[in-house]
Amino acid sequence: MAPTIDAGQVTALATTGPVRSSVLPNVPTAAEAGLPGFEATIWLGIMAPAGTPQPIVDLLNAEIATVVTYDRAGYGKSETGNLPVHGRQSADDLHVLLGKLGVPKPYLLVGHSYGGRIVRLFASAYPGDTAGLILEEASHEDLPEAQLEALTGKDRETLAAMIAPFRATVSDPRTETEYMAVTVEQLRRSGPLPRVPLVVITSASRGSGLPMVFSPESQARLTDVAMAMQKKLVDLVPGGRQILVEGAGHNVHLDQPEAVITSIREMVARLY
């Protein structure tokens, strides 16, 4: 249909999704065309009988959903990319990569730690290409300031020194760390996320891995703030859901991989 619309053979009045289609970016949504609140999307699913053996279910999922893992520029087997290396650039790199691979849109994006920031920026920049988000042990951009406000005295000074490299504005940044202040500002200016399914995976012991340089009272405050910031991530999308994982540290996918795998499988089943 898109080619006939582009050729002027068919006039498209509106699309019915919550955001403009990436295939028809010049066609307004129904809401933009004067029907606020109108939204209708198509859902397709494949069902199997109860008790279908798991290997068959896994095979169906593999055929239906393409899984892509990659090393971002400068890591693993990927070459060092061009500057800048802030979060938005990494999000754009991922968008280009998926396009060149021909991966069908929209995408379920899974980001761990700093990767959570990248997929959030991706979703904000390309809402029509985003089907869902899973943030594993990602940090909210307001976390450092909130933790500083929770501490006093020597503990506050210690924390300030620990996080200083991630907050500093560098005149000639070269690394992701040196660009971190830029990435944080990008997140704050990125606007709302698309209304897609969101799952935030959090270690139930989040905060317990802090260096033993703080008093017990400060440790407890830092943990409380960290958990509050996780809730702030959940609230980025109405209906967002948090999963607390016991027996895991920051790398939930290594300590309790089934928790991450199950979350992905459930969302794939929901989306596709």
CATH 3.40.50.80 fits 49-271, yes or no: no
Establish whether the linkage from the previous residue to 106 is cis, with ω within 30° of 0.
yes
- CB contact at 8 A, 138 and 200: yes
Q: What is the pLDDT of residues 53-91, one digit of tens each?
A: 777 777 766 666 778 888 888 888 888 878 888 999 999
Q: What is the pLDDT of residues 181-191, one digit of tens each?
A: 999 999 999 98
Residue 210: predicted pLDDT: 64
DSSP E strands, the chain: 107-112, 130-136, 198-203, 241-245
Pairing of strands 241-245, 130-136: unpaired
User: What are the residue ranges spanned by the domains of the chain?
Assistant: 1-42, 49-271
**In 3D, which of 137, 153, 117 has the Cα closest to residue 259?**
137
What's the one-letter identity of residue 145?
E
- CB contact at 8 A, 39 and 16: yes
**In 3D, which of 219, 195, 245 has the Cα closest to residue 18?**
195
Distance CA 201, CA 256 (A): 11
Residue 5: predicted pLDDT: 75
Residues of the chain with pLDDT under 50: 43-44
Q: Is the pTM of this model over 0.85?
A: no
